[in-house]
């Protein structure tokens, strides 16, 4: 047993230790910067999911949110095993002359089908993806007006660039283009925003952009069974210096490709060879720079991939999906027609790979077949006794999906080296493993009612600069004498790396407006200037919109801060309930 003096000393030390603990706790929760501390108070949260299923059989089900006006399609995703590529799915869903989607916009979705970003585009859009400009990642997409009958299949617009803070600029082409006035119709009033066509907007490693543009021009079509005083929709392409928007290269198929190369009749659903409905004999739908000396061009209406020399514009070689060409015969199983999105890969002095989306279907083609992805290997230099080899044929057993227009093939995506097909006219995207096995399927519309020109799976990191998180509060019931239970909904459109939401309650400002009562908005404004905040916990970010519940006093408002790696990025406005 301790003597009295020792017992007193022990009691004093115990008291001092207790006081020290209290001081430590006080300083921890009142003086430490809450933007960097790993908080201990977790608030249960969940993704908010509300799906609207329209009564008609045209409009695909879509999602709605409390804190955002965006209404993306509710993507149906099925997975079949195997590693998927990292990144988001980039789409531009659009109704095909019907109300196929509730909202048209460039959308990015995660692997669970949750919305990540919806761009605010004024016009119709295509070709939404990640590209590099000045060594920095940017989102790019075309927006403008598309042509309809009697000359459908192209458009006039601009290319929009968004950096990792969503700062925006638009690019057009400074060229005299005939036909742009055709989209100023009663159905689509007003001029188009620019002259760039919908089909291609591909960045080069020289910070230039390759774009297509349709120029309607007179031509003698008598040799093809058309009018002598006929018209052609010449599908030009331009190379544009993005910084200056100056044209540094121009190429015209009409100047280099024989008219009889076309597989499209002069008179078809796409025109009649007249001034009001020109013949689209070539239809450039993809362009790629190959080094500094060549361009690779996909021509839908000749069923060919053309390699041309930059300095002369002349054809170097051709690969035709029906007859072969410079490289010899088409390999068995590799025939294609009406193709899209041709891309060369791993180009060396001894050979290269070529991927393309084989539509193999067209409205007026009686031999239409199911669409698929093809990849070939070509030995260099081209010799007819060394024909190309078919190394991948991406198709799904039992599936007979035909995509008469549009489409894309993204090869060797990410670490998993998957292959991503966008089915263009059909609202379907598939991801295949390196050996061609189906690993994922995403549907975002009813077949033939919704389209997305291309589809991409890409990594993207961004934090919006011009806007912050959006917060909405609702009563959740259970109101007591001093506390009320509320439900909070929070989202931040385009913020890709938010991990959690730090939640604060802020004391309402006690003053009154001139009429004696402040509105919630006036009250919130006063709170931001004069209020005192109290940290109440953190809620994990789940889904595009996160929902959680709180108990607050009648005199308190709410504010949230987006957090990444323990650091607060940006706060919402203070929100008060009446």
Q: Give 65-77 pLDDT, tens digit per residue.
A: 999 999 999 999 9
Q: pLDDT digit string (tens) for 395-431?
A: 999 999 999 999 999 999 999 999 999 999 999 999 9
Task: Kindly tell me if the per-residue pLDDT of 198 is higher than 60.
Answer: yes
What is the pLDDT, as a whole number, of residue 25?
Answer: 44
User: pLDDT band for position 34 (50/70/90)?
Assistant: very low
Dist. CA 278–CA 216, nearest whole Å: 7
What is the pLDDT, as a whole number, of residue 211?
Answer: 98
- Closest residue by Cα to residue 459 from 191, 150, 129, 67: 129
User: Mean pLDDT over residues 495-505, rounded?
Assistant: 97
What is the pLDDT, as a whole number, of residue 531?
Answer: 55
User: pLDDT band for position 477 (50/70/90)?
Assistant: confident
Lookup: tokens for 578: 């009446």
User: Mean pLDDT over residues 31-50, rounded?
Assistant: 70
Task: Kindly tell me if the per-residue pLDDT of 19 is higher than 80.
Answer: no
What is the pLDDT, as a whole number, of residue 515?
Answer: 34
The pLDDT mean for the chain works out to 91
Q: What percent of the chain has pLDDT over 90?
A: 83
User: pLDDT band for position 514 (50/70/90)?
Assistant: very low
User: pLDDT band for position 481 (50/70/90)?
Assistant: low
User: pLDDT band for position 41 (50/70/90)?
Assistant: confident
Lookup: tokens for 202: 């591909």
Task: Kindly tell me if the per-residue pLDDT of 369 is higher than 80.
Answer: yes
Residues 71/79, Cβ–Cβ less than 8 Å: no
What is the pLDDT, as a whole number, of residue 39?
Answer: 42
In eight-state DSSP terms, residue 205 is T
Dist. CA 52–CA 63, nearest whole Å: 6
User: pLDDT band for position 23 (50/70/90)?
Assistant: very low
Lookup: tokens for 283: 């239809």
Other beta carbons less than 10 A from residue 347's beta carbon: 16
Q: What percent of the chain has pLDDT over 70?
A: 88
Q: pLDDT digit string (tens) for 525-559?
A: 545 555 578 999 999 999 999 999 999 998 899 99
Dist. CA 186–CA 182, nearest whole Å: 11
- Closest residue by Cα to residue 127 from 373, 371, 340: 340
Task: Kindly tell me if the per-residue pLDDT of 20 is higher than 60.
Answer: no
Q: What is the 3-state secondary structure (H, E, C) of 3-66?
A: CHHHHHHHHHHHHHHHHHHHHHHHHHHHCCCCCCCCCCCECCEEECCCEECCCCCCCCCEECCC
- Closest residue by Cα to residue 379 from 324, 315, 328: 328
User: Mean pLDDT over residues 210-223, rounded?
Assistant: 97
Phi, psi of 550 (to 5 degrees): -140, 155
Lookup: tokens for 568: 């607060």
User: Mean pLDDT over residues 209-234, rounded?
Assistant: 97
Lookup: tokens for 562: 């987006």
Dist. CA 209–CA 211, nearest whole Å: 6
Q: Which residue has the higher pLDDT, 205 or 19?
A: 205
What is the pLDDT, as a whole number, of residue 13?
Answer: 52
Whole-prediction pTM: 0.90
Lookup: tokens for 413: 């995506």
Q: pLDDT digit string (tens) for 80-137?
A: 999 999 999 999 999 998 899 999 999 999 999 999 999 999 999 999 999 999 999 9
Residues 295/308, Cβ–Cβ less than 8 Å: yes
Which range is least confidently modeled, 13-27, 320-334, 403-417? 13-27
What is the pLDDT, as a whole number, of residue 384?
Answer: 84
What's the Cα-to-Cα distance from 149 to each of 153, 186, 268, rounded to whole Å? 9, 13, 11
Cβ-Cβ contacts under 8 Å for 480 (sequence gap 6 or more): none
Which range is least confidently modeled, 308-322, 334-348, 506-520, 549-563? 506-520
What is the pLDDT, as a whole number, of residue 383?
Answer: 85
User: pLDDT band for position 38 (50/70/90)?
Assistant: very low
């Amino acid at each position: 047993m301790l003597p009295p003096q020792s017992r007193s000393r022990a009691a004093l030390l115990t008291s001092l230790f207790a006081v020290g603990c209290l001081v430590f706790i006080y300083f921890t929760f009142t003086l430490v910067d809450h933007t960097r501390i790993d908080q201990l108070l977790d608030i249960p949260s969940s993704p908010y999911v509300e799906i609207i299923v329209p009564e008609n059989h045209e409009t695909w089900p879509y999602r709605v949110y409390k804190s955002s006006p965006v209404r993306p399609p509710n993507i149906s995703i099925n997975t079949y095993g195997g590693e998927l590529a990292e990144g988001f799915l980039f789409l531009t869903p659009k109704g095909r002359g019907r109300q196929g989607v509730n909202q048209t916009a460039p959308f990015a979705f995660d692997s669970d089908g949750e919305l990540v970003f919806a761009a605010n585009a004024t016009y119709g859009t295509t070709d939404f993806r990640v590209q590099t400009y000045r060594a920095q990642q940017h989102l790019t997409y075309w927006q403008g007006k598309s042509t309809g009958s009697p000359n459908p299949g192209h458009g006039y617009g601009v290319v929009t660039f968004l950096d990792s803070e969503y700062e925006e600029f638009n690019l057009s082409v400074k060229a005299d283009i005939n036909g742009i006035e055709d989209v100023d119709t009663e159905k689509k009033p007003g001029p188009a925003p620019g002259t760039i066509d919908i089909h291609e907007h591909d960045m080069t490693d020289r910070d230039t952009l390759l774009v297509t543009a349709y120029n309607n021009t007179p031509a003698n079509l008598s040799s093809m069974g058309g009018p002598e005083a006929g018209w052609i929709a010449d599908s030009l392409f331009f190379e544009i210096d993005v910084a200056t928007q100056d044209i540094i290269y121009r190429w015209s198929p009409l100047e280099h490709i024989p008219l009889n190369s076309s597989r499209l009749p002069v008179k078809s659903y796409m025109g009649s060879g007249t001034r009001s409905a020109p013949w689209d004999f070539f239809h450039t739908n993809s362009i790629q720079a190959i080094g500094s000396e060549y361009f690779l061009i996909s021509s839908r209406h000749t069923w060919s991939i053309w390699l041309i020399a930059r300095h002369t514009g002349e054809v170097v070689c051709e690969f035709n999906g029906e007859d072969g060409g410079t490289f010899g015969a088409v390999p068995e199983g590799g025939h294609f027609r009406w193709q899209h999105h041709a891309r060369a890969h791993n180009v060396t002095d001894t050979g290269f790979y070529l991927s393309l989306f084989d539509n193999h279907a067209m409205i007026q083609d009686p031999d239409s077949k199911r669409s698929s992805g093809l990849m070939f290997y070509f030995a260099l230099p081209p010799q007819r006794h060394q024909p190309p080899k078919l190394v991948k044929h991406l198709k799904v057993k039992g599936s007979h999906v035909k995509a008469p227009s549009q489409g894309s093939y993204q090869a060797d995506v990410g670490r998993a080296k998957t292959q991503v097909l966008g089915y263009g006219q059909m609202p379907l995207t598939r991801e295949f493993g390196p050996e061609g096995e189906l690993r994922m399927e995403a549907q975002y519309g009813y077949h033939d009612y919704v389209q997305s020109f291309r589809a991409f799976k890409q990594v993207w990191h961004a934090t919006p600069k011009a806007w912050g998180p959006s917060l909405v509060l609702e009563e959740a019931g259970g109101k007591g004498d001093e506390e009320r239970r509320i439900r909070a909904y929070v989202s931040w459109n385009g913020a890709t790396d938010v991990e959690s939401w730090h939640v604060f309650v802020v004391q309402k400002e006690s003053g009154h407006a001139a009429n004696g009562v402040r509105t919630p908005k006036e009250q919130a404004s006063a709170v931001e200037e004069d209020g005192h905040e109290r940290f109440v916990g953190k809620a994990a970010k789940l889904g595009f919109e996160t929902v959680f519940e709180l108990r607050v006093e009648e005199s308190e408002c709410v504010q949230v801060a987006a957090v990444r790696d323990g650091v607060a990025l940006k706060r919402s406005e203070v929100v008060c309930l009446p």
